[in-house]
Structure formats: structure tokens, C-alpha cells
Structure 1
Amino acid sequence: MMGKKNKYLGLLLIIISLISCDQTPHFISKKIEANWQFKSSKDTLWLKAEVPGTVHTDLLANGIIEDPFYRLNEKQQQWIDKKDWEYKTVFYVDKSILDKEIVELNFKGLDTYAHIYLNDSLVLNTDNMFVGKTINCKSVLKKGKNKLRIVFDSPIKIGLKKRKALGYTLPNAVNDQSENGGLGKKQVAVFSRKPGYHFGWDWGPRLVSSGIWQDIEVSAYNMATIKDVYLKQRKITKTNAVLTAQLSVVATHDFIAFVNVKVDSVLTTHKEIALKKGENRINLPFNINNPELWWTNGLGNQKLYKIDVELKDKEDLLAINTNKIGLKTLKVVQEKDSIGKSFYFELNGHPVFMKGANYIPQDVFLNRISIGDYETMVKNMVDANFNMIRVWGGGIYEKDIFYNLCDKYGILVWQDFMFACAMYPGDEDFLENVKAEAEYNVKRLRNHTSIALWCGNNENLTAWKNWGWIPQTLNTQGQDIVDKVWKAYQDVFHNVLPEVVEEFDNDTFYWASSPTSARGEDATLTAGDYHYWGVWGQGEPFSTFEEYIPRFMSEYGFQSFPEFSSVKKYAEEDDWNIYSDVMKSHQRSSIGNKSIERYMKSWYRTPKDFESFLYVSQLLQAKGMKIAIEAHRRNMPYCMGSLYWQINDCWPVASWSTIDYYGTWKASHYAVKELYKPIKMMFFNNEDKIELHIASDDLKEKPVILRLKTIDFTGEVYNQIEVPIVINANTSAIYFTDKMSSWIRKKEAHNTFLFAEIEDINQSVLDETVYYDVVPNKLKLSKPDISYTVIKDANNNVVVEIEANVLAKNVRLQTAIEGRFSNNYFDVLPNKKYAINFIGKKAVDIESLKSSLDIISLYDAY
């Protein structure tokens, strides 16, 4: 009896899941998301599965494996990717679907080698995780119960076969952790069109999963449907924006249809169209009067126009396509000058300094990233004054929600194609697969206002030219293979990809590789974009950030550990040593923990314990980021971009991220928030002369009052000036210079600092900054008496008011309550009160915050 009840309950869940759908009299679309089961192909026991999902998360949910991220569990789960896996469900189709002329199954994302059986008939094979597939399935469907089964081949077994069939070895970076996967030196990541980071990276684990990673839908329609709409912006003036809606409409027979274009629900274009059976391409011009331009975060509003394209048969709605777009002009400017060639983004006629980071997928298991996670991540960019994010080429072409949010909040996207740190096959099948992938994703993403640039790959060119790959291939395999590998590179990145961009999105700039100075040319500091890894990779001091200034810096960075509360989520007390097996496993850079320790000795004293070491590692990372970003912004407009590596993590790990896997802002993200402010002051010691630079992103000049003071650690002021200045628009300049000895004498450098602030005409402080003339380990700190109160201000914000009797350096506020502080890891200057908001995920009780608040400074770390 219970078995029958469970059966009926399962059928009810299936029916309920199909009720939530898009539906008109002529069009129905429903997700197939209930009652899924999975198993290894050689097993007989079916287990419950979640769709969208992955094999690993389904095994975890069924208790077959433990958390892959905890301690060393990852190492025990390398068997999973060697097996084939099957998923199955049943779904019900009623008369309303089967009566439609066309019934389709839409597989939005299958990872990766999938064989799809509908009612025991093989209907589709797939071999690319990045391409959605749609099939006409009406002839195979039945009224009532239908069976859907998907068999996933092991990407490792397929990869090994392809590697063997290639007949030669492709050079690639050591990020494919084949040895961790039990494959020895047989790296296979480049043979499968799935994310490279699944196979491991120098910040990520090796967890090569399979599964249904995006929705599956059944849809049905009569007469015709809109397959694609490209909203091409032709010309924008102050009074008028001229656009064209380029439609692809598929009709089941010849008939007269009507197309409407609506802008913010107002009809702007109505046209009668004679549709022919099959695909019809239609161009519909339309105008937007008095257009409001879209601007990046910090420069203006992000007005998005809602564009509805309706397809009708007389009065009946057959299909509708909706996009939200911003109106803008954007181009990459490369003009020759006395030094080389510029490289900058010009938005709506204005050069814009790009401030941001590189972004990787937020989890190894993509189904675990919620809409809320995406919203939080993009808001983290906005709150830190970003205006650009680089979607890096070893991850995924992100889901639509990511780009929707970037459109909404004014974050431009440097979009890599999914190739990174390797050379790839060049056979006909591979090239055709890449072409299909590029077409699918360019067409999917091109209407997003945030898409700023298409980039062919990450570091493939610079690796080929500079990482010893050419001589290695020449010495081991000969000139013929060198030529073959290079031809494959050119075929993909100089032919297939630019041709796709030219055909489907020719308004957007294509850049063949990052970094590079020009197509096929090595990166230089005088043209194109640049990745600088002398700091960290070659062990160069932080000061070299001030020497390597390119036209556009698209990668650089320094590592730190997560904070202690995050480490405790994946490590036990016995693991609390940076050289324990667990801490080393959660550090994938071969030079990682030793490098952090070595750099730390140059800047800080030895921390007293493990927790303090984690804290100081974050201060060290923030210090490196400050030196680099200030160097980039000081050298504006020669340098017009600073995208650090990296904003986020895909698992809990010591890495270059400024926000850890659990969403906790590190010291460096708070530092970046300050460093990327629209108007930023920067002190610079230039051969014992102190210079005050101010970089402004503002498109108008701004009159301010500048105040400078020399203050000792007890708060006594020794020297000060106050002068009116006018900050130039959209550039960087020196606004004050003097002998260093006039402000900080060497014998007092250990206990004095230089303080500057600028105040606008409304007496609002736009920025303040502090300069120490010695490194932190030379400062003569004394124990501060830090006092604080927790209040609610007039706007009902929870505020921590904090002050100290002497300099309290790098004050960190911490609480167990979920949320973050508006500022953290900052210097509390003597006798100066600071008001720090606490932004809780839920309503915050003041007493709870008081009782859980923990405050430390650098003094407490020694």
C-alpha cells in the first residue's frame, strides 16, 4: 500500500512540475525537473537525483560520498570520473502538447558526452557542455507517460581515447592535475569541451563531474515561433536611437503574420510579414526617441529598455521574445603614440579606466550556485567600485542571470571564450565543435549591454611563446608537430572565432588572446593587455608592480588564506598549520604557502599563532594589491585598466581571491573598495620626494579642499596645510609634492604618518589616505585602547562607532552574525571616531552584535 502511495505521489510531483510553465493558446513550455533518478551504468540500484545537478552532488545527497571539500576527501573521490552514469525520469504529455504542430525537447546544458533516449529511442548525442541542443520529438512522444534516459560517458575515458588518436602530445600547463586523478602524465582536459577548471587548477580541486547541469524543457507550438532576436544598435544621438530587430522565425507553413516591437510596453513598430515554411530572417527597424544612455557603475544610470518582439496571427499571440537592453556606444581604442599603441575602452565617447577583477565559476558544482549567489557576487563588485569583470577562459560561459545582473548594475564584461593555458587539437571535428559553441554563445549573449569584448583565450599565446613549449615540442616531436600545433591555434583563434564574432556580433571587439599586443604577437608593456606575474610567480618584490606598467593590466595578484572561521569549515584542529597535509591540499599553487611566508617576512613580524598568520596573510595581500592598483591608476591615461586575479573561489582554499568561497570579504576586498573609489588619492615616494596623486573617473572637474597633516601615533599634529584645488576630470595628476624630510623625518618614521583628505563644496569627505614611510614591521606600535558602541542611526542602520587612544593599525571587526561590515582591516587613527555599518543578511539585534563582536589590530597578532 505504501509503495502505491509513493508511486502516486511521484506522479503528482511530475504533474505539478509541468504546471509551472510559459503558455499561450499556441505555445507551451514546461520544465522536466521531477522524479529523476541516477546510477552508475554498471549498477542496478537507482538513486534519487536532482536536476539540474551533477553526479558528485547526487552522490553526496545520497550519502555515497562525503563532502568533497572537507579535509582530504577530494583525493578519495577520483573514481567517480572513470565511470559512465545514467539519469532517467518519466514525464507526462497531454493532448494540449501533442496537438501542437511542433513539439521539441530543449536540453540547455548537458555535461558532456551524453546519449539521450526518449521512449527507448536514441534521439540525440552530445559532446559539448557549452552548447544547448533542441530536437523535434513529436514523432517519438506518447500521450501520457514518456520515458527519458540520458547516459553520460566518462569524460576521462573519452579523453584518453582522443589523446591516443591524436598521435602527438599537446603542450599545456600543469593545471590539469592528471596525477591526482590517477592518470600519470596523461592530461586529457583539452580534448573535452567542458570547463578546464574541473580537471584542477592552481586554485582549484580536481573533481571532474558529469550530469544535467541546466534545465530540460519540453515546448510545443503551432504555426511559427521566434528562434532568435538580435537587437542591433545602428546609431545613437541625443534625440534618437536607431535600432534594428533582426529576427529568425521558423514557420510550419506559408501564412501572413504580424510582428510588433514594443519599447517599455509601448508599440513602436507593427509590420505584416509573409512567412514561408522553414526559417525566415526578418529585419525590423525601430527608433527610441530621446534615449537615455547606459553607463558603467559610478558614471551614471543603467537605464535598460524592455524590448518585446511579438509574433501574431491576426489577433492571436504565437510567440514573444523579450530582452532588456541599454543604449551605449563602446569601442576599444588602439591608436599609435610615441611609445606604442593605446588600449582603452571608450564608453559613450569618453575614455574609461577599467577597474575590476577576473572571475571564475563560484563553485566546482555549478548547480549549487543560486540566483541569490549571483546577485551577491555582482553586488560585491558594485560595492567595491568595479566597472568591469573578466569572465576567464577556463570556466564557463556564465548563465543568463549573471549577464542580466551585470547589465542591471553597470558592470562591463570582458568575455573569454573557453580556452586557457594550453594548445588544442585542430582536427575538423574539433573545429566544427568550436564553431558551434561560439555561434551558440555569441548569439545567446550578444544582446547583453554588459558584453564589452570577446577574447579568444587565456594565456595560450604567451604560453606557446614564453613557457618553453616550442623548444619542448621541437626537441621531443619535431618541426612538423610544432607547425601542426601552431596551425591548430591559428585555425581556432585567428579564423573560426573571429569569423563567428564578425558574423553574429560585429559591433563587439574581438581580441585573439590575453595577454597580447596584437593578433599573434607577444604581450608587451607598450601595446595591448598584459599579465604581470613577476610578483608571486618569479618572487619579485612588491615594488616591481611600480615598474611594470602596461597599457591595460588584465591579470596580476597575490595570495592569502581565508580567515580562521572559514578554515575551520574544512579543517580540524590537528590541521591548523600551513604545512599540514590538509592546508597544503587546500593550496594548489606549487609555491603557495612558502611564498606567502617568505613575502611576509619582508613586510611583517612573525605572527604569534596560526590564526594570526591567516590574518596577517590577508594584510600582506592587501598591501600588494594597494601598490599595484595605485601604480596603475597613477599612470592613467597611459594605463587604462586594472583587473586583478581574482575576485572569488570555487572551493575553500588559499588563493588569490579577495572574497573566499564562503562569501567572506578578505582584507584585500575592503582595500580594493577604497582603491577603486571614483576619486582616489595616492601618496608616492619618488626619490625622497613625497607626491600626492589624485586619480579621477569623474567626467567633470571637481573643486575640493585638500588637507595634509603629519601625525604621530598618539595623535599629535606636527605639520599641516589646507589648500583649495581643482581635480581634473577623467585623469590622474600630481597635486602636491615636497621633500619627504619636510613632512616625515627618518628618525621619526617609525611612529609618524602622513594623512590627507579631500572635502567637496558640500563639506563631504570624498577620500582620505594614510602614508607610512617604513614597512609595517618597522612601525613602533603600542597597545591601543579600542572603544566602541553599537547604535542604530537615523536611517535605522546598525552602526559600530569605534575609536582608539593611539594608532590602531589594521583593525579587524568580526562577528558570528551573518553579514559584513562596510569597512574592515582599516587603520583607526588616534582620537578619530569611525562609523562602520554592519550589513546583515537578516535583521540584526544590537545586543547580539555587541556580545559577539571581536576586534583586533595588528598589535594583537604579535
Structure 2
Amino acid sequence: MTSLKTLDLTTDGGAAWTVQAVDGPAPDGLIGRAVAATVPGEVHTDLLAAGEIPDPFDGDNESALHWIGRTRWKFQTTFSWVADGNERQELVAEGLDTVATVSVNGQELGRTANQHRSYRFDVTGVLVAGDNELVVEFEGPVAAAEAERAKVGSWPHTNLHPYNELRKMASNFGWDWGPDVATAGIWRPIRIESWSGVRIDSVRPLAGADGVLNTFVSLIWTDTAAEYATVTAEVGGTTQSTSVKPGTDTAVLTNRVPAVDLWWPRGHGEQPLYDVTVTLADDTWTGRVGFRDISLNVAPDNDGTPFVLSVNGKPIYVRGANWIPDDAFVTRLNADTYRTSIEDAVDSGMNLLRVWGGGIYESEDFYDICDELGILVWQDFLFACAAYSEEEPLWSEVEAEAREAVTRLSRHASLAVWNGNNENIWGYVEWGWRVPLAGRPWGAGYYLDLLPKIVAELDPRTPYSAGSPYSFDQFIHPNDDRHGTMHIWDVWNQVDYTTYRKYKPRFVSEFGFQGPPAWSTLTSVVHDAPLDPYGQQMLVHQKAFEGNLKLERGLGEHLPVWKDIDDWHWITQLNQARAIAYGIEHFRSLFPLNTGAVVWQLNDNWPVVSWAAVDGHGIRKPLWYALKRVYADRLLTVQPREDQLVVAAHNDTDAAWSTEVTVTRRSTLGDDVLAQETFAIEIAARSAVVNDLPESVAVAGNPAAEYLEVRGADGVTAYSYFVEDTQLQLAADAYTATVTPTENGYDVTVIATALAKDLALFPDRLDAAARVDSCLVTLSAGESHTFHVTGAAAPADIAVPVLRSVNDLV
């Protein structure tokens, strides 16, 4: 019977690793010279720790370090091993990035070409008593991708490098928000496992809302195994065991937990999780499950094709964001960094994160935290913005990685959708791929055949979508707003953000608008003198095609063009927040036709001008605060309907919303109330209503000097304006601010004597460690607001550019 023993070969396990350049365009003196390495890790982080390279994120260092992705690297360690009487020894590598040759004691064990899967190598008889040498040699990933293209041909792709030739994180080769830092290294744990008889290969516990847990245990046996084995599963105070004969590859155990507490996404209930323990002699697997059912309704209706996620039979309005790898060097992430970033989603009112297909199948920490916090996970398979060969060996690599990913992640209560790809079906239809493809398969075989079959086999309780965007019918354009999911990218790329209102999308799974990171984040890496949007280093940290031109064009009539760099920073951050809030308020006003929005994007992987709501240093941009407002459980918004204005109210809670709403037409320049109307609203749980506005408030006498204040008796507010800010009359001295020190920072209290529009405090301009609790606060005359700042000492006073508003722009 098994007697499993493990020898940890990571740095934390005591192994001492080195890395050295073998050949390639490395600087003089580096080839053949070993430096200390950390495993798990990446060559960039090792070279940085050794002082061999500058920070890749700083200035223009990124381009100066492109040689790393074209250099061959050798990772090496020596470990001591003592025979323990077991029959078989295996080297287990959970993640090798990417094209690697693995050797022990000079004997080649195998070659790898997939970052997204694990590998096992039989080292029985290869290990010797005493010291053993392990070498993992990696091809330069950029050189390897180009060599594969030269060998098998080119498939259409976005961006510079042919990332689609390899099963490696696509964004690692650079994206329109991320640096070109193609890495190599042992990026997940590595160890020696020694065992006899039989061991657990994988465990797949699938829990349903009926309290039934079906646990599928995959077993691996030695050729000489002769004894029966007992497999046991424990959950929720129940225990089930089964005896299996040698050679049995799967054991299935069914536990029924009485009076089970169901798992719900946040805002819909609690997130109870149950420990699961599977044992096979001294081989033990542990994990957690939540009992829930998830379904996806895409059955055609009179308006087209809906996209409705339901949990335990209850439809969920999705308020989400797209998630990219949280650091360009993913081995620097840990449970704490994941929790901080996922809490950014929770605190903004989100209930779903979409793990985008150009990244990775995330760390177990990511999914565990989403389970705990009630954040649904939409999981892309890892295909993005490219065509992909369906020939061997790529087909088998895709199948292997998909089977492993589904097996590993299927247990998580938070897992809500498996999605075949990002934009590839759309790309085939509309991006000019068909001519260069010349009839060759381009990936449809994965999205429409292989992947849905794997999900149906291994995770039948989780819905599958062939792509994003997708209309759930091969005869309908994949990005049709009437059907399924859509991506809205003409806004940002081509047209004004008011175009959002031209769409009536069933579900928006990508849409976004750019803005710069926090001032302290930007200036920590951009050192142009003087600082300028078109400075050389600034453009290194603006990856989008014509990004700065689009920032300027995107102002439209909404905001004035900046006078200086301080104004540029404030105006473009504000316009980003405005654009996304405008879109989401429109989408929510369409409920129940629209059933969700997933903004691009929550997070950044380095300091950069991007679509993120939270920048690469973890500072929440004005966009994040706008999202917190428009993703609130209860939303009031003024919207145009035909020839009139309405107040749309969306109640995304389980309780009826009954309140009195006061709509006031006010002067922008003082405290004059020009007209006022009050009405009651009654909105059922998870429902919406639209109320026409009377002409007395809906029609302005002087549009440039008036605005609407919409205020619910329960504190929910909204504001609406009759003209854009470039025509709006605002008082320059509309408010005063005072600073008061507190125990852990300071307060800034603002008192308004006239309309103070979109007040924003940027304490990081004084101290990069400072954080503020609120932003984009609008005050009518006579109102006040206190900003709470933590992490920094109080300044003597506060003024522009630390305290900003629209008032100081117009």
C-alpha cells in the first residue's frame, strides 16, 4: 500500500537554486555565470534580486531588457535524497514556463512546452543516494515562439510577438496595457514524490444544492500493486468509503449532507464552505466546497437571446470586472495580494470577476478567496485575440491543460462560467483572418467541440460559453447586442461615450475607457522632465494604440482640454470615471432586458495608463469610486426616454424598495431652488421601475446654470445636467476646505456654498502611502462632506492639485 513521501525542492523547502544564461543576446559576462535563483520564480525577478538588471517597470527599462526573452536559461540545484523503501519516485513540476528540458543527474527526463499544466517525470532508478543534480533549461520564450512559427506557419494574432504559437500566458509577451517581459522559470512548486502501490492523482468533488457531494478520485497504481485500497471522503459530518481493486483508475464516493447550508454570491446570501477530506492510506487530499447550483439561460426570447446566470434557481444581475494577472511577474503574488485585490472588487459592489483568456488559470488562493467572499468567477480558457492551430502537438497540449484546469477548479463554489476564448470567434468573423488562414482550422474545434466536451465530462454542473462575445448561434454575428454577450469597444476606440446609449445589450462582458494611474504611481516610474503626456517615458507606460490621442478625443464636449500636466491627470481620470458610469447607468436602466455588465478592467499588472479601476500600486482611481456608486445595490439614475427624462430605479436586493424621491431643479451658482417635485417609488425585490419627470423639473430655464438633484429619502442620490461641463456655469469659490489631524491620518471637510461638482482628493500627491475613503463627491449649496485619509500625516492645508473639482476646470 502507498507510503507517500514528499521532498520539497522549492527555495522555501530548503533547495538552493541558481540560474545562468546559456546562450543568446545576454550582456557580456553574464553567459555561464550563475546567480542565486528563487523557486518558484522567474528569471526577471532573479536577475533583479541579484542586481543584474534594473527594475523592468521603471522608465524605459522594459525595452532595454528584451534580450531576456531571447536568451536560453538554465536553472540548477543539488538536493540530497535517501532511499525510503518506496517502489516509485517521481519529479513533480506544477508549472514550468515554458519550453523546457528537464534532467536529473545528467539524464534527460523530458521536454515541456506548456506553462498552463503540470508534469510528472519518473525518476525511479535515476536518483542516487546522497547528492542529486536537477537541471531545468528553458528556451527564450520569444525566440521559441518565433521558431515554432517558422516551423509550422503563422496564425493571425494581435500585438507584436506570435504568442499563439505557444501555450504560454499571452499577455506576458506584452499587451495594450502590459509590458513585454516574456519570462522563463519554474513558476509553481516542484518536488520529489516517493510512493508504492497506489496514490491519489486528482480529486474532483462536485457539490450540489441538494446537499449531495459526488467526489471523483483518480488513482494511479504501480504495475506490481496487488492489494485492494480503501478511499474515504469526509464532508459535513458524513463519511463514505469504498474499496477498489488494483488497477481501478477512478473511485466515486457520494456523501449526503443533511440540512445543508447553500452557498450564495455576495448580496444574495451567505457563503458557507465545507471542508472535504479524501484519504487513501497516508495519502490525503483536502479542500473546501460550497453547495450550490448554477445555470445559464440562453434560450431565445422575443428580444433575441438572453444571458442570465442563476444561482440556486435565482437570477443574478452581474456587476463585475475583468481580471488580468495582478502582476506582470506572477510569482510575486500571494494570498495577501490576492485578497487585497479581490476586496477591491467586493468593496466596489461587484459580484463577479472574469479571469480573462490572455492570462493564467489562477492560483488556488484566488479561487479560495472568491469562494469566501462570494465573488462569482467567469473562467476563460486561455485563448485571446488570435487564431490557433488545431494540429498536433498543440491539440494534445490544449486537451491536457483543459482537463487539468477543469479538474482542479471544478470544486470551487464561486466558479460560474467556463468560457472558450476571448474575442477569437469575433476575430474570425470580422478581423480579416480568413485570407491569411487560407482555409486552415483556426481554433473553432477547441471552442465548439473539445472544450465543451471536457466541461460536460468533468464539470457538468457549470455552464459553458463558446466565447466572449458570443451570440449562442453560429448564424448570428458574435457581437450583436441583441444576443448573448457583447464587447463594446467602438467607445474608446472610435466614438464618444454617449454611444453606449445606442446599444441595448443583453449582457456586456467587456467595455472600458482609459485613464492614468494615481499621480504617485505614475511619477514613480515616469521621469520625463518636464512631465508630459507625450514624453518618452510616459509613452512607454501608455501601451494602447494612439492611446493619448484617444484620451484627448474622448473628452469630446464633456470636459475642456487640459492646460498643464496636473489638469491632464485630473481631467483624463475624471473622464474615464464618467464614461464607465454613463454606460453602466444606461445598462442598469434597461433591466431586465440587460442582465449584467463586466467592466474592463479591475486591476493593473504594472504602473501604466490603462482601463483599470485600481492601479498597479493598488491605489483606487476615480473610476473605482464611480463603480462603487453605479454598482450599488440600489441605483437612481436620470435617463432620456424618447422625448422626455425619466428617473430609472434599479433595486438589486431581496427586499422591496419603498422610498420618497425628491427631484430638485437648482441653480449651479448658489442655493436657489427653482422647482421641486416629490413622488413615491415602490420597487419589488430584484426589480426596476421608470418614473417620468414632470416638465417643471425636466425643462431648464437656463440650462447652463441649472442642474437636477435626485434624492431618495433613504439617501440614494443622483445628479443630472442640462449641458456638458464645457458650457456649465460653476462658481470658482463654491467651497471651502479644512484639515483636521486624526489618530491614523487626517480629515478634510469641504463645505459648499454653491454646486461643487465631482470633488476629488488625491492625498498620494503629498505622500504615496496615503489613501482616501471617498472621491467624486458632488455637493449642493449648504452641504458638506468629510474625506477620511489614512496612512499619512496631516498637511497644513489642502489646495489644487491635491483637492480637485470640475469647478476649478471651468
User: When the two structures are superposed, what TM-score results if normalisation uses the length of structure 1?
Assistant: 0.87
1:69 has 2:47 as partner: no
Shift of 1:258: 3.6
Match of residue 244 from structure 1: 214
1:102 has 2:88 as partner: yes
1:678 has 2:650 as partner: no
Shift of 1:124: 2.3
- 4+ runs deviating over 6 angstroms: 849-853
Q: Which secondary structure does the structure 1 equivalent of 2:557 belong to?
A: helix
Matches within 5 A, 1:111-150: 111-150=97-136
Query: Equivalents in 1 of 2:273, 2:728: separation in Å?
Result: 51
Match of residue 28 from structure 2: none
The percentage of counterpart residues that share the same residue type is: 30
Contact 2:518–2:621 (Cα < 8 Å) also in 1: yes
- With over 3 angstroms needed to count, the CA separation of the structure-2 counterparts of 1:425 and 1:581, relative to structure 1, is same
Shift of 1:808: 2.0
Query: Equivalents in 2 of 1:116, 1:193: separation in Å?
Result: 18
**Cα-to-partner distance string for 1:709-729 (whole Å, 9 max, x where unaligned):** 223232333333444332222
Query: Equivalents in 1 of 2:139, 2:642: separation in Å?
Result: 63
Contact 2:656–2:682 (Cα < 8 Å) also in 1: yes
Match of residue 690 from structure 2: 734
Shift of 1:119: 1.6
- With over 3 angstroms needed to count, the CA separation of the structure-2 counterparts of 1:145 and 1:405, relative to structure 1, is same
Letter in 2 for 1:77: L
Match of residue 476 from structure 1: none
Query: Equivalents in 2 of 1:156, 1:279: separation in Å?
Result: 43
Match of residue 784 from structure 1: 734
Query: Equivalents in 2 of 1:506, 1:682: separation in Å?
Result: 39
Q: Which moved more, 1:77-86 or 1:242-251?
A: 242-251
Match of residue 465 from structure 1: 429
Shift of 1:675: 0.4
**Cα-to-partner distance string for 1:376-425 (whole Å, 9 max, x where unaligned):** 11000000111111111111111111111111111111111111111111
Residue 693 of structure 1 is aligned with which of 648, 651, 656? 648
Match of residue 250 from structure 2: 281
Shift of 1:686: 3.1
Shift of 1:836: 4.0
Query: Equivalents in 2 of 1:598, 1:196: separation in Å?
Result: 29
Matches within 5 A, 1:843-854: 844=791, 848=794, 854=802
Residue 298 of structure 1 is aligned with which of 259, 267, 271? 267
Q: Which secondary structure does the structure 1 equivalent of 2:694 belong to?
A: strand
Residue 494 of structure 1 is aligned with which of 424, 434, 448? 448
Contact 2:4–2:193 (Cα < 8 Å) also in 1: no
Match of residue 269 from structure 1: 239
Letter in 2 for 1:733: V
**Cα-to-partner distance string for 1:421-440 (whole Å, 9 max, x where unaligned):** 11111212111111111111
Residue 769 of structure 2 is aligned with which of 818, 821, 828? 818
Letter in 2 for 1:619: L
Residue 588 of structure 1 is aligned with which of 518, 540, 543? 543
Shift of 1:88: 0.5
- With over 3 angstroms needed to count, the CA separation of the structure-2 counterparts of 1:329 and 1:797, relative to structure 1, is farther
Contact 1:258–1:272 (Cα < 8 Å) also in 2: yes
- With over 3 angstroms needed to count, the CA separation of the structure-2 counterparts of 1:726 and 1:29, relative to structure 1, is farther
Query: Equivalents in 1 of 2:291, 2:614: separation in Å?
Result: 32
Match of residue 183 from structure 1: none
Greater helix content? 1
Match of residue 518 from structure 1: 472
Query: Equivalents in 2 of 1:534, 1:101: separation in Å?
Result: 61
Shift of 1:573: 4.2
Letter in 1 for 2:753: N
Shift of 1:798: 7.1
Match of residue 520 from structure 2: 565
Letter in 1 for 2:10: I
Letter in 1 for 2:488: Y
1:606 has 2:561 as partner: yes
Match of residue 148 from structure 2: 162
Letter in 2 for 1:228: S
Query: Equivalents in 2 of 1:673, 1:287: separation in Å?
Result: 40
Letter in 2 for 1:89: T
1:550 has 2:505 as partner: yes
1:54 has 2:42 as partner: yes
Contact 2:700–2:706 (Cα < 8 Å) also in 1: no
Shift of 1:51: 1.5
**Cα-to-partner distance string for 1:247-297 (whole Å, 9 max, x where unaligned):** 123345233444433224x3x124241431x45311111111112111112
Query: Equivalents in 1 of 2:257, 2:781: separation in Å?
Result: 56
> Any unmatched runs of 5+ in structure 1?
1-23, 179-187, 313-317, 474-480
Match of residue 279 from structure 2: 310
Shift of 1:604: 1.0
Tell me how many residue pairs correspond in the alignment: 788
What is the root-mean-square deviation of aligned Cα atoms in Å? 2.3
Shift of 1:776: 1.5
Q: Which secondary structure does the structure 1 equivalent of 2:204 belong to?
A: strand
Contact 1:708–1:720 (Cα < 8 Å) also in 2: yes
- With over 3 angstroms needed to count, the CA separation of the structure-2 counterparts of 1:563 and 1:300, relative to structure 1, is same
Residue 180 of structure 2 is aligned with which of 190, 206, 210? 206
Residue 658 of structure 1 is aligned with which of 613, 617, 621? 613
Match of residue 255 from structure 1: 227
Match of residue 17 from structure 2: 36
Shift of 1:731: 2.3
User: When the two structures are superposed, what TM-score results if normalisation uses the length of structure 2?
Assistant: 0.93
Letter in 2 for 1:156: V
Residue 207 of structure 2 is aligned with which of 233, 239, 242? 233
**Cα-to-partner distance string for 1:436-465 (whole Å, 9 max, x where unaligned):** 111111111111111111111111111111
1:707 has 2:681 as partner: no
Query: Equivalents in 2 of 1:39, 1:88: separation in Å?
Result: 9
Matches within 5 A, 1:837-848: 837-838=788-789, 840=790, 844=791, 848=794
Letter in 2 for 1:359: W
Shift of 1:212: 1.1
1:80 has 2:68 as partner: yes
Contact 1:575–1:583 (Cα < 8 Å) also in 2: no
Letter in 2 for 1:833: S
Match of residue 385 from structure 1: 349
Contact 2:207–2:289 (Cα < 8 Å) also in 1: no
Contact 2:244–2:251 (Cα < 8 Å) also in 1: no
Residue 396 of structure 1 is aligned with which of 357, 360, 373? 360
Q: Which secondary structure does the structure 2 equivalent of 1:57 belong to?
A: helix
- With over 3 angstroms needed to count, the CA separation of the structure-2 counterparts of 1:801 and 1:785, relative to structure 1, is closer
Query: Equivalents in 1 of 2:197, 2:798: separation in Å?
Result: 64
Shift of 1:831: 1.7
Match of residue 354 from structure 1: 318
Query: Equivalents in 2 of 1:784, 1:164: separation in Å?
Result: 65
Contact 2:3–2:86 (Cα < 8 Å) also in 1: no
1:414 has 2:378 as partner: yes
Contact 1:682–1:769 (Cα < 8 Å) also in 2: yes
Shift of 1:861: 4.3
